[in-house]
């Protein structure tokens, strides 16, 4: 009786496996049944990635101040690689990367404005963020933007879009787009 149950469970498992065949190459992503990403998923990925990128840029610029405005370029590349890692294809990856880079730029500039306020008033950064308010901090950030900042943003967007357009090697091998 025990052997009969075991044989029946093995037969049922074989039927289930026949219904859901595994790909020949398990490392290749199975994108045939993957739905297109919704706009909310792209927006949330861009928002979270952009804010994390802005904070990372601010910290890098404080620790390594040489050509501080250009730290956005490697961060944009990392954001683009992150969108590809999340499984977004070319169009969605480009949109998410572009939005994330712009968010990172704006958020980092806001943080740089808060750092300037904290430095000039002799306050800790956290206190300056809460006491100065959004309007004053944004005005100071906007007033301190120079041509190298805009050039860095353009380079970051170009680098991020270029990386987001790349196709992964596993998709080229398997023939998926």
Q: Walk along the chain (177 residues) and give the pLDDT tens digit of each residue.
A: 555 555 555 555 555 444 445 555 555 555 555 556 688 888 999 999 999 999 999 888 888 887 888 999 999 999 999 999 988 888 889 999 999 999 999 999 999 999 889 998 888 988 888 888 888 888 999 998 899 999 999 999 999 999 998 865 544 333 344
- b vs e for 136-172, b when ≥16 Cβ sit within 10 Å of the residue's Cβ? ebbebbeeeeeeebeebbeebbebbbebbeeeeeeee
* Residue 3: per-residue pLDDT: 57
Compute, in degrees rounded to 10, the torsion defined by CA atoms 106, 108, 110, 111: 170
| 100 token code pair | 């994330």
* Residue 67: per-residue pLDDT: 82
- Asked whether the whole model's pTM tops 0.75, one would answer no
* Residue 102: per-residue pLDDT: 96
* Residue 31: per-residue pLDDT: 53
* Residue 173: per-residue pLDDT: 36
* Residue 24: per-residue pLDDT: 56
Cα separation values, 148 from 23, 106, 144, 151, Å: 49, 15, 11, 5
Give residue 76's region: left, alpha or beta (phi > 0; psi -120 to 50): alpha
* Residue 172: per-residue pLDDT: 39
* Residues 28, 35: Cα–Cα separation, whole Å: 17
* Residue 2: per-residue pLDDT: 55
* Residue 21: per-residue pLDDT: 52
The DSSP call for residue 24 is S
* Residues 28, 11: Cα–Cα separation, whole Å: 28
């Amino acid at each position: 009786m025990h052997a009969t149950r075991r044989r029946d469970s093995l037969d049922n498992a074989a039927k289930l496996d026949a219904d859901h065949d595994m790909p020949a190459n398990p490392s290749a992503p199975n994108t045939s049944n993957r739905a297109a990403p919704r706009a909310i998923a792209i927006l949330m990925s861009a928002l979270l990635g952009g804010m994390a990128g802005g904070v990372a840029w601010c910290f890098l610029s404080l620790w390594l101040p040489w050509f501080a405005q250009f730290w956005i370029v490697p961060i944009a590349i990392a954001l683009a690689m992150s969108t590809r890692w999340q499984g977004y294809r070319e169009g969605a990856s480009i949109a998410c990367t572009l939005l994330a880079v712009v968010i990172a730029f704006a958020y980092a500039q806001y943080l740089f404005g808060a750092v300037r306020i904290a430095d000039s008033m002799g306050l800790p950064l956290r206190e300056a963020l809460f006491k100065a308010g959004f309007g004053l901090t944004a005005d100071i950030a906007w007033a301190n933007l120079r041509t190298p900042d805009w050039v860095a943003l353009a380079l970051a967007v170009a680098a991020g879009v270029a990386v987001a357009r790349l196709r992964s090697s596993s998709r080229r091998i398997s023939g998926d787009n």
